[in-house]
Amino acid sequence: MPESSAARSAVAASGLEVDLGFLKLRNPVIGASGLFGVETGNVSDLSRLGAVVTKTQFLGTRPGNALHRMTETPAGLLNSVGIPCLGVEHFVDVEWPLWRHAGCPVVVSIGGERFEDYFDLAERLDALPEVAALEVNISCPNQAAGGLEFGADPRDVERVVSGVRRRTLLPVIAKLTPNVTRIADIALAAEAGGAHALCAVNTVLGMALDIRTQSSRLGSLRGGLSGPAIRPIAVRAVWEVAQSTRLPVIGTGGAESPEDVLEFVLAGAAAVGVGTAVLYSVRQVERMPGDLRRLLSEIGVGSLDELRGSLRQSRLSQDVTAG
């Protein structure tokens, strides 16, 4: 049964609110890009979430990658969906009117194969009513750089983000790839480009091979790993990013319980993206804000603000490179 508006305002007054500066969320649970479609609202109450991010939109149509697009691994999902897309005009005319009824702030994710794609998309979406923010997916392959992700080069990151900022008044979230040597450098480049917030992280590059057919288990060779397998990587990335920039960070990667959400907050996250967990149980994700409230009181913490950044450094934990 849907939560009443009275119950929802009780959540809002319970220490779960998040102020990203440009956007206030009633709780920190954000539906991550690519896992929530407008149709998700038919089977769950999206208004219980703090916000939701659309799957990445491109200017034109994209067929997506060859099958198979997903394969299970021991603790995560490897995907090579390739972000199929019907193009921005379809999004504006058909999808956005439905998204506007989600009942929570909706962030639109944008991607591109060239720098100009990002800029043109930002300008096109700027006029859309009620877009909460743009999330810039810089994990897309840059055609001009032989397929290297935009997000792998700090100069490209600054160029994408600053170009998007110039073409829209909407707040801009830069979504970082974990597939880099020093994610703090990338975060600083996004900050220099004018990002209002950062999301860390997108999927971790991986491969899964079938020894009997001597081929990839996916239609492409490499895919993106998500789910619990990447949570320690994501928590570490959030901590490094939060230490190096003053921007709010949306921690994303393998969160599937209220405990996981608080782990990200302890590492410095302002809010937490939940993606793959929705494939196991959309209900569990929907219940997370309520469960979080109970968990906070169980561990004797009054609010997320109280927990954020309160990580105690032990002598051993200072040695971050220890094997």
Ligand X SMILES: Cc1cc2nc3c(=O)[nH]c(=O)nc-3n(C[C@H](O)[C@H](O)[C@H](O)COP(=O)(O)O)c2cc1C
Q: Which positions lie near ligand X, rule CB under 6 A?
A: 32-35, 55-56, 77, 79, 81, 83, 109, 137, 175, 202-203, 226-227, 230, 252-255, 274-277
Nearer to ligand X, 84 or 302 (CB): 84
CB of 297 to ligand X, least distance (A): 25
Per annotation, catalytic residue among 85, 104, 140, 199 = 140
Classify residue 34 as left (phi > 0), alpha (psi -120 to 50) or beta. left
Nearer to ligand X, 55 or 196 (CB): 55
Which contacts (CB < 8 Å, 24+ apart) does range 60-67 have?
A: 60/85, 60/87, 60/88, 61/85, 61/86, 61/87, 65/218, 65/219, 65/220, 66/219, 66/220, 67/219
Give the residue among 247, 255, 246 at the shortest CA–CA distance from 275: 255
Q: Could you confirm whether 199 is annotated as catalytic?
A: no
Nearer to ligand X, 76 or 163 (CB): 76
Please give the residue whose beta carbon sits closest to ligand X in the complex. Answer: 34
CB of 158 to ligand X, least distance (A): 19
Host H or E run for residue 225: strand 223-226
CB of 124 to ligand X, least distance (A): 18
| 8 Å CB contact between 260 and 278 | no
Sequence-separated (6 or more) residues with CB below 8 Å from residue 64: 81, 82, 83, 84, 85
Nearer to ligand X, 61 or 310 (CB): 61
The rounded distance, in Å, linking the Cα atoms of 209 and 174 is 32
CB of 127 to ligand X, least distance (A): 22
CB of 154 to ligand X, least distance (A): 19
> Catalytic positions, please?
140
